[in-house]
Structure 1
Amino acid sequence: MPLDPALNSLGFAKAPAETRVVVAMSGGVDSSVVAAELAAEGYDVVGVTLQLYDHGAALAKKGACCAGRDIHDARRVAEAMGFPHYVLDYENVFRDAVIDEFADSYLAGATPVPCIRCNERVKFRDLLETAKDLDADCMATGHYIQRKMGAAGPELHQAADTARDQSYFLFSTTPEQLSYLRFPLGHLPSKAATRDLAAQHGLRVADKPDSQDICFVPNGNYASVIEKLRPGAADPGEIVHADGRVLGSHRGVIHYTIGQRRGLGIGGLADPLYVVRLDVENRRVIVGPKEMLATRTVPVREINWLGDGDFADATERNILVKVRSTRPPTEAVLRPVSETEAEVELLVAEEGVSPGQACVFYAPEGSRVLGGGWIWRGR
C-alpha cells in the first residue's frame, strides 16, 4: 500500500471506482484473489484470460495454466464478483513467441525457460497493450513480487515470502512496463494467506492446487513435446567421455540435460559421471566427473537493467545472482561488456550452469531486483 493517503491502493490520485484495472487471470487462486480483492475495494476491474494453446490438443495438460478448465474457473470468479471477463485467443502468438523458440533452443543443447519468455513477449507486451486499449490505468497480476517506489521511480523487489518469490521469472520486465504493472500479492507472508483471502471471498478456487511444470509440457516430459514439435529430433548418437572415450549410445540428445547423472545407461564404471556438455551438431552427449560441472565465469547477454544509472557506465559491480530458479542468490561480480552483454564472476563456483537459463541480478543488500540476462555459453 502507498504511504501517501491521497493515493488509492494502486497508487492513483482518484477513487477506486474511477480507476480501471485489467487483471490477467490464469484461473488459479493467485490471480483470482487479485481480481476479487480489487473488485471488493471498488475498482473498475476487467478480467482477461489468455488461451495460449488448444486445450484439447495433444500438447495440453489437464489442469495446466490457461487450459480449458482454468478459463472456466476464471470466468466463474468474474461472475461471482460482478466484473466483466474476456478470453483472448493468443494461440498463434504464444506458439511463435514461446513454443517455437523453446523447441529450437532445446534442440541446440540449451535449457530454456519458456515461462520467462511468456511473461516478456506475451503477458507483459501484447496483453499489456490490450489493457491500454481498454483504457485501463494499470494491469495487475498474481505474481509474487513487489513493486516499490524508489527515488528514481518504481523498482522491482523480491516477494515478502521468499519461498514464493517469482523474481527469477520476471527479470526481463522493463522500466516502462513496471510503471504500468501492479503486483498486489507480493507483500503477503505466505501462500496460505492468499488461500485465506480466496476463502473469505467465497471463491471455489480457494483450494485449487498450484499448476506444476511448464503449462504446455505434460508431466515435465520435455523430450516428448520436442519430438511432436520437431519430428525426427531424437536421432541417436554416442555418449562420449570428456577424455574422448566412447562409452555407449543414446536415443537422442533431447533426452539429456547438463548435470544429469541418472538414466545415462553407462553403468559399471568406477566413478559416477554427469552430463557436462551437449554436442548437438555431432549428436554427442559428453560426460565427465562432477568437478567438470563447476563454473565461476558466466557469460550473459540480452541484459535488461533495472538498477540505477546506465548499465555500462560501471566497470564492475558487486551483486548477488541467481543462475537457477531453485537456488538462492549468491555473491558475484558483474562486469559489463556492452549495454546488453556482461561477464558474471561467481565468488563460489556453481554446478550445472547451463546455456538457456537466466542469470538474475540482485542488490547485495535488501530485496531489489536489478535485472538480468540469458546465459549463452559455458566456460
Structure 2
Amino acid sequence: MAQELGEKVRQAYRVSLPSLVVSLIIGFFGGTFLGKYLEKISRDYPGLLVILPGMMGLRGNVFGSMASRFSTMLYLGDLEPSLREKKVLKNIVIAMLLSLIPVTILWAIGVIQGIRYHALQILLIVVSSTILVSLILGYFTAFVTIFAFRKEVDPDSMAAPLVASMGDLLTIPALIAFILLLETSKETFWGSNLALILLFLFLLAISRVRKAEIVEFKELFTIITALALLSLISGFTLQRFSDLIGASIILGFAYPSILSSFGNYGSIIAAKTSTALHLGEIDGYLSKEPFMEILALFLTTPIVGVLINVFGAGIAHFIAGAEPRIVYELTLSYPLMALFIMLYSYTISYFLFQKNIDPDNVAIPLISNNSDIFGTIYVVIIAKLMVGG
C-alpha cells in the first residue's frame, strides 16, 4: 500500500502539480487583464457584469466535462486518439450549443432586470465570443487529453485544470476584443459577428449532430443552465462583500486563482473517480483507491497555497503598491479547504454514479460551480480575518 501511495504522490507532483501551477499563473494573468478594463465594462457595458460570472463558470463546466468524457472514451476505446476523429468535432459543436443557450438566457435575465443599454450589442458580443472561445477551447481540450493519453500520462490528472484556466484566459480577452472592435469599427464588428455565426452553422451542418445525440446531453444541459442561473446569486453575494475583499488588497488579485484552484482540485478528483467507476475499479464508497488519490493530491496543496500568496502579494505590490506580506490565514487554511473540496467532489461523483447519472456530464459542472460558492465564502472569511471587518 505504501508503494502504491508513493507512486500516486509522484504522479501528483509530476503531472497534476505542474498543471495546477500553470493554472495559477494563467488565472493571475487573466485577473490582471480583467482589472485593467473592469472600470470601462462597468461604465459602458454594465450588462456584461450580469453575464460574466456565469460565462466564466460555463467554460470550465462544459469543457472540463468534455475533457473528462474524452478521457473515459479513450480508456474504453470509444475514441481514436486523433484530432481528426469525427467524434472530436461533433463533441465540440455540441459543447457550443450547450454554451450558447445558457449565456443567451443570462443575457435575457439582464434585460429583464432593466439593463438595456447596448443590449443588442452585448448579445452579439456574448454569442460571438462564445462561438470563438468554444472553438479554440474545444480543440485545446481535445489536444491536451489526446496528447496526454498518447504519452501514457493520465489525462484526468492534468486536463481539467488546464482547460478551466484556458477558458478563464480566453473569455475576458475575447469580450474585450469585441468591445474594442465595436468602438473602433462598427462595420468590422457586425461583419465579424456575421462570419462567426455562419461558421457555427457550417460546423453544425458538417458535424452532422443528430437530435438524438443532443438529447443524450440533456443532463449536462440542464445542470449547466441551472448552475449558470445560480452563478447570478453567487455574483450578488460577491458584490456584497467586494469592498471587504478589496480592502485586503492581496485577495482582490488572488480571488480568481483561489476559486479556480479549488475547482481544479475538485475536477481532478471527479474525473479520476468517473474513469475508475466506469472501469469498475471502485468497489464501494470506502475503497482505498480514491482516498489514496485524494491524499496524494492533498500533499501538493501547501505548495499551491504558498504560490497563491506569493503571486498575489507580488502583483498587488506591482500594481497597487501594497507591501508584500505572508497571509498566514490563507497559507495555513488553504490545504484544509482544498481537502474538503476533494472529499466533496469524490462523494458527489460516487453517489451520482450509483444513481445511474454519468459523473462526466454532471459532477464536474456541479463541483466547479459549488467550488466557486465555497471559495467565495472562504475568501470572505479570510478577508474578515485579515481586515477585521
Structure-2-length-normalised TM-score: 0.34
Structure richer in helix, relative to its length: 2
TM-score of the two chains, using structure 1 as the length reference: 0.35
User: Which has the greater radius of gyration?
Assistant: 1
Q: Between the two structures, name the one with larger relative contact order (CA 8 Å, sep ≥ 6).
A: 2
